[in-house]
Amino acid sequence: MSTPAAPTPAAPTAGASTPAGSTPAGSTPAGSTPAGSSPARPPVLEVKDVTVTLSGRRVLDAVGFTVQPGEFVGLIGSNGAGKTTLLRVILGLQRELGGSVRIADEHAGSGIGYLPQKVLLDPDLPLRARDVVALGLDGGRLGIPLPSAKKRALVDEMLEAVGAMEFADARVGLLSGGQQQRILIAHAIVSNPPLLLLDEPLANLDISSAQEIVDLLARICRERGIAVLLSAHDLNPLLAVMDRIVYLAGGRAVTGSTDEVVQSDVLTGLYGRRVDVLRVGGRVLVVAAADEADEDHGHE
């Protein structure tokens, strides 16, 4: 309750040192409040002091942050930083050792959209692209099924939104990586979840496809008021759309606007070793000094 609403660039919220209740809804930094999100609304997701140990190793250490309704949040970290583990904890697929995850009451039960990391579609899978999108309406819905005409209209609208009409009737396993990703995103969004989790949806895409996917995802989710938590190891394709960043390293997290978090001193504190942030031609390069333990090797 004591954190001021306008943190200075040097004071993003450190997950590891966040006292309970100190990240109120109003803490969204000035200039980054997403359209349609009012500070008075409760967060759609509240992660507090989440700690996870796997095979005796502390993978997440008191990670905390919130996601406001309609907000686009980038979960950034190098390989092995704990991004997938954190998303699995939020989904209830991975038990945490400590801490809590809260989905806003008004959304409890309405389902979280999820696109797992590296979904592999067999070329022989006997499903058309549109069938995969339609499955997103059935999955997890135990009530009365939608009438088929209504369902078809929702699927068509979704296919149109992701620019997939021209390959809607193609066998999904034969589509290119970028086309499949559009279909999988459509599958995850078609039921209009209040919160959508995407685990590295840009990995394996070339730079221009990645940018196209990000742009359409941001547009559709803004139109529909869907909050997004998207994990990535490269923050560059997300720079224009992120309202907030959650940066993970060494099991700990810092959160704030991109400008607040992606600073040499902030990331040096997070990594516990020297990190340089270079801004070149509109791109950001985060360079961590080599570490003897070498666990974060290969970070961009």
Ligand X SMILES: Nc1ncnc2c1ncn2[C@@H]1O[C@H](COP(=O)(O)OP(=O)(O)O)[C@@H](O)[C@H]1O
Give yes or no for residue 83 binding ligand X (CB under 6 A): yes
Burial of 191 (0-12, 13-18, 19+ CB in 10 A): middle
Told to check if 81 binds ligand X by CB under 6 A, we report yes
Which tokens go with 64? 């905390």
Q: Of these partners, Mg ion, ligand X, none, which one is at the site of residue 108 (CB under 5 to 8 Å by kind)?
A: none
Return the one option of ligand X, Mg ion, none that residue 104 interacts with (CB less than 5 to 8 A, by type).
Answer: none
Residues 123-152: b if buried by 16+ CB within 10 A, e if exposed: eeeebbbbbbbbebbeeeeeeeeeeeeeee
Please identify, among the stretches 61-69, 83-91, 183-191, 220-228, the one whose residues bind ligand X according to the rule CB under 6 A.
83-91
**Contact with Mg ion (CB under 5 A): which of 13, 66, 84, 258?**
84
Contact partner at residue 37 from ligand X, Mg ion, none, CB < 5 to 8 Å by partner kind: none
Stretch that binds Mg ion, among 116-124, 221-229, 279-287, 289-297 (CB under 5 A): 116-124
**In the bound complex, what is the minimum distance in angstroms from residue 142's beta carbon to ligand X?**
29
Per CB under 5 A, the segment of 23-31, 79-87, 97-105, 173-181 that binds Mg ion is: 79-87
Question: CB burial class (10 A; 0-12, 13-18, 19+) of residue 7?
Answer: middle
- The residue count for binding ligand X (CB under 6 A) is 11
Should residue 59 be labelled a site residue for ligand X when binding is judged by CB under 6 A? yes
SS3 146: coil
CB of 249 to ligand X, least distance (A): 10
CA dist., res. 153 & res. 193, Å (int): 18
* 55 binds ligand X per the rule CB under 6 A: yes
The option from Mg ion, ligand X, none interacting with 77 (CB < 5 to 8 A, set by class) reads: ligand X
Of the candidates 87, 106, 105, 107, which has an alpha carbon nearest to the alpha carbon of residue 96? 87
Residue 80 interacts with which of Mg ion, ligand X, none, CB < 5 to 8 Å by class: ligand X
Shortest CB 3 distance to Mg ion, Å:
30
Distances, alpha carbon 300 to alpha carbons 111, 213, 249, 275, 297, in Å: 34, 21, 13, 11, 9
Residue 160 CB: number of other CB atoms within 10 A?
A: 12
For 41-58, give the secondary structure using H, E and C.
CCCCEEEEEEEEEECCEE
158 binds ligand X (CB under 6 A): no
Q: Does 15 bind ligand X (CB under 6 A)?
A: no
Please tell me whether residue 84 binds ligand X under the rule CB under 6 A.
yes
Rounded CA-CA distance 271/180 in Å is 35
Q: Which is nearer to Mg ion, 219 or 297 (CB)?
A: 297
Query: Which 8-state DSSP code applies to residue 171?
Result: B
Nearer to ligand X, 83 or 252 (CB): 83
Say if residues 44 and 227 touch (Cβ distance below 8 Å).
Answer: yes
85 binds, among ligand X, Mg ion, none (CB under 5 to 8 A by kind): ligand X
17 vs 117, beta carbon nearer Mg ion: 117
Nearest residue to 237 via CA among 270, 282, 280:
282
Q: Is 250 in the site for ligand X (CB under 6 A)?
A: no
Which residues would be at the binding site for Mg ion (CB under 5 A)? 83-84, 117
Which residues would be at the binding site for ligand X (CB under 6 A)? 54-55, 59, 77, 79-85
